[in-house]
Every structure is written in C-alpha cells, then in structure tokens.
Amino acid sequence: MDLPTLWFWIIAALFTLYFFLEGFDFGVDMLRPLLARNEREERALTGTIGPFWDGNEVWVIAAAGAMFSTFPRWYGALFSGMYPIFVIILLALIVRGVSFEFRNQVDRPRWRAFWDAMSFWGSLVPAFLWGVVMANLLRGLPISAEGEFVGSPLLLFNPFALLGGLATALMFVLHGANFLLLRLHHEDEIYHRARRAALFWGALATVAVLGFVVAGYISTGLFRNFGLLPWLFPIAAFLTLITIWYALVTRRSALGFAMSGLTVAFSTLTIFLGLYPNVAISTLDPANTLTVQQAASQPYTLHLMNIVAAIFLPLIVAYQIWNYYVFRQRVRVERGGLDQGY
C-alpha cells in the first residue's frame, strides 16, 4: 500500500472513530428533552457523558488536520465548497460546549432550560449536517478543472443529502439510547424510558438507514468499487441493526451498544469504500474528479505525518481508554449524577 492510500484509510478511520464516539453523546443530548422529567434526571443524563464529550471531539480535529496535511487539494475542495455547513457545525459545537459549562452556574429554571435547549440544538444540528456532508461527498460536488467548488451552497441540500442527514441523526439517537442503557442504573425509571426510546427510535433509524442505502445504490456509485467483497459493509450494517433489536428485547445492553457502534462504523466505512480511489467526485466533468494520488501531498510530508501519527495517536487512544475506565460506574439518579460525571 502506498502512502497516499495509507493516509486515505487513516483519515477514514479517524472519521469513523469520531462518529462512533461523538455519535452517542450527540444522541444522549437529543434524547434529553424526551427522557428527563426533573432536575435530578437532567443531571444524571449530563453525568453519563460529562467525562467523555470533549475528548470525543478530539478525533474530528485530528481528521481535519490529517486531511489538511496529507490531501491539501481534497481539503480545499471540500472545505471551500461546504464552508457554510462547517461554520454552522463549528458554531453548534461551541454553543453545546458552553451549555455544559454555563448550565449550572445560575440556579434559575429559565437559565437551565435555555442552556438545555442550546445543548439539544447544538447536538441535533451537527448530527444532521454531518450526514449531509457525507452524502454529498459520496454523491459528488460541482468541482472545476482547477479543483475548486463552483456551485451554490444550496445545492448541498439535495434530497439524497437530506436523507443522509436524517439517517445519521436517527442513528446517533439510537446509539445514544444504547449508551444510556450502559451508563444508567437498572433500578431508575429513566433507564426503562431509555430502553423504550431505543426500541422506538431504533425502528425509525433502521428505515432511514435502509432508505439511504437504496437511494445511494440508485443515484450514486455506492457499492460500485467494492471489488471482491461486494455488499460486505452494507450487509454488515444491516445485520448489526437487526442484532440491536435482539439485544434490546433480551436486555443485553453491552451487545446493543456494540452493535449500534458497529452500525455507525460500517456505515461510515461504506461511504469511504464507495468513494475510493477518488476523494472528491466532480458532478460537472468526470475529468475534474480528484483522486487519492492527485490530491496527496509530497512524499516528504507524508513520511513526516507517519512519524507524527506514530507518536501522538497511541497517546490519545491510551488517554481515552483510561478515561472511560475511570468513569465506568453507572450513574444513579438519586445521587444527582453530576458529581460522578466530572
């Protein structure tokens, strides 16, 4: 495997890890208005993701930084074309982070309700828009011969991309519900509400994901480049969705969370498999499409990035494993949950 191909798959792995980890804390915040009935339950839900949410965001910074360093033309075409979407995602993530810090600084119901709403929208908006980004990456962009995005940002909100955003948001809600089943105590009523939410939103997520797969097969080159392993990842994603239902019915929380995580991972890898060996498909002229080899940096830069990745990626992974191990206890509502989360 040459260096450009290696870095294409490293970037795919970084985005997969980001969606796996950030997906469940987005999902918890999107479920918060449906599950929490009082202040103690609100704090318990915050406690489930409190130690993890900011660490999870490290992986999107790593993915964007790696893309900028190793594929500058890909980065330029993608980020210039989708600049409005990325600005909205960034603002939503900032608002969400601020809501965690500010919510409990003032003991007034209206203050807390305002920041709860900011946390909800700060999770729903990026969850939906990341699906829009990935769907457009697969569908293609109006890229000129100079490798620049030349269309209107409104073109990004086409029916296929909107379906991708819906499927992603629903999948993250299901992933968040399964995470809550791992983190909340079995004796609390909110645990049973989370289980019912997983069953309900899981059904909607299954329909949306399957609809996106069918639409991708009809309208894009999805699955065209799978070579000797056709349908491997989409079938795996479907099987994991079915296994989630089995896990929820038989009350196997760890299995349910693992399967929803694998569904997120298989779905993300399916998009990158469908994209390869291209990085930015042009809808104007196939000759304008950027390939992995065309968009890659010089060999010296790629070798340098190998050294950087070999040093820092294991450190980040080790820290996150330690963090999840330290805060592995389930959160109980009667204790408020917040002291266990921070």
| DSSP labels, 295-307 | H---HHHHHHHHH
- pLDDT tens digits for range 21-41: 999 989 999 999 888 888 888
Task: Kindly state the average pLDDT of the residues 5-32.
Answer: 92
**Residue 341 binned pLDDT confidence (cut-offs 50, 70, 90):** very low
Which residues make Cβ contacts (< 8 Å) with residue 178, sequence separation at least 6? 24, 198, 244, 253, 256, 257, 259, 260
Give the bridge partners for 278, in sequence order. Answer: 291
Type and span of the H or E element at 214: helix 189-219
Burial of 163 (0-12, 13-18, 19+ CB in 10 A): buried
Q: Contact 292/8 with Cβ under 8 angstroms?
A: yes
pTM above threshold 0.85:
yes
DSSP 71-127: -HHHHHHHHHHTHHHHHHHHHHHHHHHHHHHHTTTS--HHHHHHHHHHHHHHHHHHH
How far is Cα 196 from Cα 69, in angstroms, rounded to an integer?
A: 44
Burial of 234 (0-12, 13-18, 19+ CB in 10 A): buried
- The predicted pLDDT at position 30 comes to 93
- pLDDT tens digits for range 60-76: 899 988 999 899 888 88
